[in-house]
Structure 1
Amino acid sequence: MNTDYSCPKARKVYRSFLGKLLRNYMIGLLLTVLVVGTAIVPTQVDMTPDEYQRLAFILLVSLACMGVAEWIVFARHIRPVRQGLAPEADLEVLRKAYVRTHRLPLLSVFRILVPHQLSFSIPALALTVWMLHEGLLSFPDFYVLVAAMGALLVAGMHAMLDFFLTTAAIRPLLLEIKTLAEQRFRVELDADDHVLLPIRPKFLVSGMLIGTLPLLLFSIAAHIRLHRLEVDMFQNYWGWAGMILLIDAAFVYMGARLITQDIERPISQLYDAMNDIKEGRLTKVQNVYSDEFSKLVTGFNMMVGALQMREEESRVMLDSYFVTLAVALDARDPYTAGHSLRVAEYSEQIGRLCGMSPEELAIIRKSALLHDIGKIGIRDTVLLKEGRLTEEEFDQIKAHPALGENILLQIEPKEVMAPLLPGVRSHHERYDGKGYPDRLAGEEIPVLGRIIAVADAYDAMTSDRPYRRGMAPSIALSILDEGRGSQWDPVFAKAFVDHMRKQLPSIPKRGA
């Protein structure tokens, strides 16, 4: 790919990002070294100027080893990001760059705790032990252990600081990578499937480090200060200090856990509600919070309320659209005026009698309203003919279910019309397999088709036509009853017949 959309900007963002990483790294390192050094270094250690020079040599050698090792690891970590910002990068390379950028805060922790720590500590400890053995250094041996613990403290505090600083630094880079993906490939990158560090471990570990590292630092500094005191209290110092550290760790863990749960709870509820919205269920969140989450939940619920209002408006408009189509269809023939509306009412009643859900009833009603939409394609000379139809003319009438399905297939959005198609196509199928257009039998016929067939037949029998008067409701119901299991679905026909017979005194015969 030779098209270069915004590479100068990408390079600028990348260079700024590298500058921030270097600055943050140095700030974190200097702060931790300063804090730990202030507490540990000023001790009552008597050393000659030569020994200070040897310690400085050890420090420089260790820092050099650390710098080389860390740069090698960092170059490997950052390589996918650099490749993703190249003009020739394809979509998969951009995706990898996006995911890797999200991983950089965790990788910074790994880099500091493993290559950084080991490449510094191993040369420093090896050189120090060798110089102690050769008599080039004269301080007590246990200072080596203290130094190792101090290095771990530096690394732990530095890793925590660098994690949060890197988290802030990657945001402009993430936005730039997302922009490149949209410009080049019209794709929106998302990290939903790449939750690299959940809130719980992040808060728990951070809380533990914040609460225990200062206390451990104090314990080491106190040990150094008091090591020359030959008293019983100092001999049991680490037993006492260990107990205090355990109590502190337990307290910090419980506190961090409670804080984490307090933050996780509203986030989890909002996340569940958003998943409900994604699946079509507009769910509000109970607002039981008294902090900033209260405002967030209120805003979310306002958004859901607006969506509910728009969905209701859309539903009413769509229902009106279906009714308008049905009325327009029925208007072609004054003798069938209101037929589609009545079939929709009867079909919905059958669904309700059979315990169907409100969502299913809505689909039944819409499909029934449009069940004869294919008759739009039938010529008036055939559709409105008062006498007996010829075989060729009846074949044209029999084509209207498939024609109706084809008409609805042209309407957008297709996913709205798709559930209605089975009822439109199959409402003239017979339970015994002698219907049309597909000669389906029994439960091969879609449920919508079996329900609408009963409602359509009843309204056709009880409505007046130019060539005959409509039947009495009792006679039509008897015909439906006799045709259960042959022409009509036995369950749906029985439910409708039983219900309508209870209403017989109040059912008028359909007139012209």
Structure 2
Amino acid sequence: MREFQNFQKKLFFNYIIGSIIAVFGVGSVFIFHTLDLSSLEIRYLLFIMAVSGIIMIVGEFALYRKHIKPLREFFKLENPQKKDFDHAYVTTHRFPMLTVKRILGPHLLGLSIPASVMTYLFIYTDLINLDYYYIGLAWAGAILIAVMHALIEFFLTYNMCQKMAQKIEGLARRTIGESLTIEGKYFLSIRRKLLVSTLFTATFPVSLFILASQIRAVENYSAQSENYWSWASLIVVIILGVSICGAVLLYSSIQEPIQSLRSSFDLARDGHFEEMTNSYSDEFASLITGYNHMIRGIQERDDRNDQLLSSFFSVIAATLDARDPYTAGHSTRVADYAVKIAEKAGFTSKQTDLLKKSALLHDIGKIGIRDKILLKESRLTDAEFTVIKQHPIIGANILEQVLLPEELKPILPGVKYHHERMDGLGYPEGLTGDEIPLFGRVLAVADAFDAMTSDRPYVKGMPFSKALDIIESGKGTQWDPYFASLFLEIMGKDN
């Protein structure tokens, strides 16, 4: 609640500043230093300004209470929900434009109408010696001053509302554990802000000068006053045209780097971390440099994570192999064979890396097999072999419980299905042909070859040539014929 009270105090302070500059500064100087008035007429005009100013303030205050109400109610809530945070967040972002409406409405309705009516009555009763024509000029001046006041208030309020929005977003993170976003709910383009501010900055002083000059011309009964407005209108049109062109060109120079940054962020969100070419010499140069630093930091972090992850897989594989001294190095050798097959088959680097990880962990399920069976030095019985055949399912279950990130989930099929056969006589599910996942078919070849050529407690490993002959004869029945052929080619080259 304290943040809300401070927010209101700053809003009030900004209003005072804007009012002093616009209404009591430019407005009063415009009136009292342009017209030739007696001291009594000045008092009457001050009275008119005071009364209409009070009406304007009352109107602005009524609108302010309506606009600030959602924020006031939000900060009174003890346990705000997501919808409450969203509503307060959007209201805060909308507040600068609500401020513009709050200033423009009461200025034109609450200030100008009462002032016009009272001035008309004072002129009609001869209390003020002015022509009715001045009321129309006063309306033109009031519009200029109202727009200037609204513009000042907008920019003063804009920075405050950004800070308040950050506080609400931080409170949402701490309270409900969720982030807030304005995207799709409210959008105020830089183009609109730039165009309005540029047009007003360019035309306001000229328009005010033209208006003051016309009043002086009427005051002095200038002979040229008849053609004055046609000349003044032409000048304003030319200035407007130049201002619009300048604003559009300026926005175009800002839009290009903003669009480049947005595109780069979209690429980074999709996992493509590419540095931007920094060809800017303005503030965008620092922004692009910061973005490139961020991308390099992400890449370095990802590289470290990849190294740690690779080390983790290698350690797990070594730990599994260390449990059975007769199969030491088995997982690493299977991974090496699998990578060679993948490279020969034209797998992408990402697929090859995932296949390697799957190979290193393909026997992780043996953790769940009792030592009495796993380390048995004689041939296994049928019952014991049935237990051993559970290790692919155990391994897949272990990895599923780890809650692997989405990008690592492709390693699961290799762990679960590396003992399937093309003819459907494998395990654990008896899949056939292309039903067997890709990694399962590759690992089946690599795993079988290393198993046949490795020494076991009850049998000595066979020569490479004999194992390759068995793989040759088993193409299409036990092993995928394509991957088996690739492996035979690789081993033929190696020998």
TM-score range, shorter-chain basis? 0.7 to 0.9
- TM-superposition CA deviations, 1:217-242 (whole Å, max 9, x none): 11211222223677775433233222
Residue 162 of structure 1: how far off its partner (Å): 0.4
Matched AA of 2:55: C
Following the alignment from structure 2 to structure 1, what is the Cα–Cα distance between the partners of residues 124 and 431?
96
Residue 104 of structure 1: how far off its partner (Å): 1.4
Following the alignment from structure 1 to structure 2, what is the Cα–Cα distance between the partners of residues 85 and 32?
32
- TM-superposition CA deviations, 1:267-308 (whole Å, max 9, x none): 444444444444433332222222343333333323332332
Q: Does 2:273 correspond to 1:289?
A: no
Aligned to 1:79: 69
* Counterpart secondary structure, 2:362: coil
> Identity of paired residues, percent?
40
Aligned to 1:39: 30
Counterpart pick for 2:292 among 298, 301, 314: 301
Q: Does 2:478 correspond to 1:506?
A: no
Residue 426 of structure 1: how far off its partner (Å): 1.9
Distance 1:438 1:214, change over 3 A: farther
Following the alignment from structure 1 to structure 2, what is the Cα–Cα distance between the partners of residues 95 and 147?
43
Q: Does 2:412 correspond to 1:421?
A: yes
- TM-superposition CA deviations, 1:316-347 (whole Å, max 9, x none): 12111111211222233444333212222232
Residue 161 of structure 1: how far off its partner (Å): 0.6
5 Å-filtered alignment, 1:105-504, equals: 105-129=96-120, 139-171=130-162, 173-191=164-182, 196-227=187-218, 234-385=225-376, 387-411=378-402, 418-465=409-456, 466-467=458-459, 469-470=461-462, 472-473=464-465, 476=468, 479-480=471-472, 482-484=474-476, 486-489=477-480, 493-498=481-486, 500-501=488-489, 504=492
Residue 176 of structure 1: how far off its partner (Å): 4.3
Following the alignment from structure 1 to structure 2, what is the Cα–Cα distance between the partners of residues 120 and 328?
84
Asked if 2 retains the 8 angstrom alpha-carbon contact of 1:461 and 1:470, the reply is yes
Residue 145 of structure 1: how far off its partner (Å): 1.9
- TM-superposition CA deviations, 1:150-173 (whole Å, max 9, x none): 111111111111011112333554
Distance 1:138 1:418, change over 3 A: same
Asked if 1 retains the 8 angstrom alpha-carbon contact of 2:362 and 2:414, the reply is yes
Aligned residue-pair number: 492
Q: Does 2:58 correspond to 1:65?
A: no
Q: CA RMSD in A?
A: 3.2
Residue 80 of structure 1: how far off its partner (Å): 1.3
Consecutive unaligned residues in structure 1, runs of 5 or more: 1-9, 508-512
Matched AA of 1:479: I
Following the alignment from structure 1 to structure 2, what is the Cα–Cα distance between the partners of residues 142 and 433?
100
Residue 109 of structure 1: how far off its partner (Å): 1.0
Following the alignment from structure 2 to structure 1, what is the Cα–Cα distance between the partners of residues 241 and 336?
67
Asked if 2 retains the 8 angstrom alpha-carbon contact of 1:99 and 1:191, the reply is yes
Aligned to 1:3: none
User: So what's the TM-score if we normalise by structure 2?
Assistant: 0.87
Following the alignment from structure 2 to structure 1, what is the Cα–Cα distance between the partners of residues 315 and 416?
20
Asked if 2 retains the 8 angstrom alpha-carbon contact of 1:458 and 1:480, the reply is no
Residue 44 of structure 1: how far off its partner (Å): 4.3
Distance 1:502 1:452, change over 3 A: closer
Asked if 1 retains the 8 angstrom alpha-carbon contact of 2:14 and 2:157, the reply is yes
Matched AA of 1:66: M
Residue 250 of structure 1: how far off its partner (Å): 2.6
Following the alignment from structure 2 to structure 1, what is the Cα–Cα distance between the partners of residues 443 and 218?
94
Following the alignment from structure 1 to structure 2, what is the Cα–Cα distance between the partners of residues 435 and 455?
15
- TM-superposition CA deviations, 1:170-221 (whole Å, max 9, x none): 3554454345434543445454565532322222221221112112111211
Residue 435 of structure 1: how far off its partner (Å): 2.8
Following the alignment from structure 2 to structure 1, what is the Cα–Cα distance between the partners of residues 99 and 311?
59
Following the alignment from structure 2 to structure 1, what is the Cα–Cα distance between the partners of residues 274 and 342?
26
